[in-house]
């Protein structure tokens, strides 16, 4: 399928592993030029090598998206390397475990800061470049817990709901610049965080048994975990001209776990 993004420029925050890395690879495969960022220089270099593209196609820059000055430097590096930006994929932040009683005030604050400002800072910084594109698109990677709160992810559920609301507000704010803003709500998708949780338990002998049990507990209609590449293809669609009349919306990639019509 031709997504119509060949030669265009995509910026992927949190692009060193998991969904972010899969998204960067998908955009490269579709002919786009890609900038990725992350906080860890070693992991960033590993991602750059794994993606296997030259400097004319791939820019890898260290950046903490919670620091506006670093985000501005990322924006300037993308402009210098590629001349502009057409697509921004905001993909920073994993889940924080803890119920209402276990989560301290500072943990609530940290979670809100991460989930809100990891989207707000890059979107502000890249706004002018996306507007100049004429077909600018922002895709915010969110979670099913934004609509289906999880009792053991209390702070994350609340922060993700706020992020989804903010994404809708952003779509109204940026519509005059012809910048579309949408979200992808992710369910159970294979990632490093699930591997780490498997390693901390002793109930299941294999990783697949552990995943199968989670699928049964969560009652996933499709009966399996999703793959990062499946999420990445959805992101690419929402960022592409093929979704040119979609803004302020979201697609859930959850294997059918969406809790409402």
Please give the radius of gyration of the chain, using alpha carbons only, rounded to the nearest integer. Answer: 18
Measured distance CA(50)–CA(4) in Å, rounded = 24
Is residue 37 classed as helix, strand or coil in its secondary structure? Answer: strand
Domain ranges of the chain: 9-189+227-253, 190-225
Closest CA to 94 of 77, 118, 70, 67: 118
**How deeply is 46 buried, as exposed, middle or buried, from its count of CB atoms within 10 A (0-12, 13-18, 19+)?**
middle
Q: Which two tokens stand for residue 231?
A: 């999420």
pLDDT tens string 37-95: 999 999 999 999 999 999 999 999 999 999 999 999 999 999 999 999 999 999 977 77
Measured distance CA(259)–CA(212) in Å, rounded = 20
In this model, does residue 128 exceed pLDDT 80? yes
DSSP 206-217: SHHHHHHHHHHH
Task: Name the residue with tokens 């919306």.
Answer: 249
Question: Which of the four pLDDT bands, split at 50, 70 and 90, describes residue 169?
Answer: very high
Question: Which of the four pLDDT bands, split at 50, 70 and 90, describes residue 149?
Answer: confident
Superfamily of domain 9-189+227-253: NAD(P)-binding Rossmann-like Domain (3.40.50.720)
């Amino acid at each position: 399928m031709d997504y119509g993004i060949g030669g265009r420029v995509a910026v992927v925050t949190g692009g060193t592993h998991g969904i972010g890395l899969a998204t960067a690879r998908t955009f490269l495969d579709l002919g786009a030029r890609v900038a990725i960022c992350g906080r860890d220089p070693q992991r960033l270099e590993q991602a750059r090598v794994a993606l296997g593209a030259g400097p004319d196609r791939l820019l890898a820059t260290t950046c903490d998206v919670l620091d506006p000055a670093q985000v501005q430097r990322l924006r300037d590096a993308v402009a210098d390397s590629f001349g502009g930006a057409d697509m921004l994929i905001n993909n920073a932040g994993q889940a924080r475990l803890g119920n209402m009683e276990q989560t301290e005030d500072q943990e609530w604050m940290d979670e809100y800061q991460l989930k809100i400002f990891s989207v707000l800072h890059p979107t502000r910084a890249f706004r002018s470049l996306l507007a100049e594109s004429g077909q600018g698109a922002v895709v915010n990677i969110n979670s099913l817990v934004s609509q289906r709160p999880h009792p053991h992810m209390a702070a994350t559920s609340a922060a993700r709901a706020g992020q989804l609301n903010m994404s809708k507000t952003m779509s109204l704010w940026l519509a005059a610049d012809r910048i579309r803003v949408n979200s992808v709500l992710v369910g159970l998708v294979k990632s490093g965080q699930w591997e780490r949780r498997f390693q901390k338990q002793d109930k299941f002998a294999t990783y697949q048994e552990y995943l199968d049990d989670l699928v049964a507990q969560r009652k996933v209609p499709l009966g399996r975990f999703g793959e990062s590449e499946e999420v990445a293809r959805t992101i690419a669609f929402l960022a592409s001209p093929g979704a040119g009349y979609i803004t302020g919306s979201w697609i859930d990639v959850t294997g059918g776990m969406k809790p409402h019509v």
